[in-house]
Amino acid sequence: MISREMPEESEPLLLVQNLVKSYGSHRAVDTVCYALRPGELVALLGENGAGKSTMLQTIVGLLRPDAGTIQISGRTVSPTDSFHKRLIGYLAERPFFYPTLSGVEFLQFVGALYGLRRRESTVWGQELLKQMHLVDVAHQRIQSYSQGMRQRLALCATLLHRPRLLLLDEPLNGLDPIHVRDLKTLLLQLCSEGCAVLVSTHLLDVAERLCSRILILSHGHLIADGSLDQLRLLARQPDHSTLEAVFFALTQEQSNLVQMPGGEQ
């Protein structure tokens, strides 16, 4: 198990300290601590039910934590404070759409929710649609879109208000290799401009190539946080081991701990 002591570094965009979220007697997120800083592109990994989506939804404010604190840009998140919402771009694993709207109309609707001027949302929305290769279908109803097209439109909506902190839950769902490449290029560009990005994904090979830092959740616990080289040492794996090998070694070890009599639940 990794240390729960937070490193003393300044100005994280996101600071999570001792976060706990339970459903009844089940702790979906158990005393999790980490920080994200400007320019970081971080992978969030874990088996199904590890607590990844719950943690992201708690940070965004869709769920209320049972314990712990969340700070965004140095300010503690509270249910009555909407300050953090403008700073966050959140992509849910299953994005919601109004299917009878066109892509352009949907982005205008999202822009209005964030208080953007119509011209601002139109100009930047067109640029995002171009980057996501949706210009040709931008005026078609969303109900005619394929899964991949809807996913790319959801990414446009996530980026429309120019957030500084991106929380992306399975953003590669439905994307073909060309659009995966384009998304990777866009995320790297945003990080170079000072954004922090946390990407939840099951695609370990993509995470290995894309992200310089990796968080691994297992049974609600943050069991690893570091570069791939650091995780190899933690997992006692040989040099040049793949992220897949490291992931399975660490999560299997955690599963064994949980299943032991008196082990953590």
Phi and psi (nearest 5°) for 89? -115, 115
User: Would you state the pLDDT for residue 6?
Assistant: 41
User: Would you state the pLDDT for residue 220?
Assistant: 94
3-state SS, residue 115: coil
- pLDDT band at 241; cut points 50, 70, 90: very high
Please say whether the beta carbons of 165 and 195 come within 8 A.
Answer: yes
Tokens of residue 58, six digits: 């708690």
Q: What is the DSSP string of 13-63?
A: SEEEEEEEEEETTEEEEEEEEEEE-TT-EEEEEE-TTSSHHHHHHHHHTSS
3-state SS, residue 103: helix
User: Would you state the pLDDT for residue 256?
Assistant: 66
Q: Is residue 260's pLDDT more than 70?
A: no
Q: Is residue 9's pLDDT more than 70?
A: no
195-216 pLDDT tens trace: 999 999 999 998 999 999 999 9
3-state secondary structure 230-254: HHHHHHCCCCCCCHHHHHHHHHHHH
Which has the closest alpha carbon to 171: 152, 192, 149, 194?
A: 152
83-127 pLDDT tens trace: 888 899 999 999 999 999 999 999 999 999 999 998 888 999 999
Residue 149 CA: distances (Å) to CA of 54, 60, 157, 175, 242: 26, 24, 12, 8, 31
User: Would you state the pLDDT for residue 19?
Assistant: 97
Q: Is residue 252's pLDDT more than 50?
A: yes
pTM of the model: 0.89
Beta bridge partners of 15: 35, 71
Query: Which residue did the predictor score with more confidence, 260 or 72?
Result: 72
Q: Is residue 228's pLDDT more than 80?
A: yes
Residue 27 CA: distances (Å) to CA of 45, 61, 66, 128, 219: 18, 18, 10, 38, 8
> How far, in whole angstroms, is CA 187 from its chain's centroid?
12
**CATH of the domain spanning 1-87+196-265:** 3.40.50.300
- pLDDT band at 188; cut points 50, 70, 90: very high
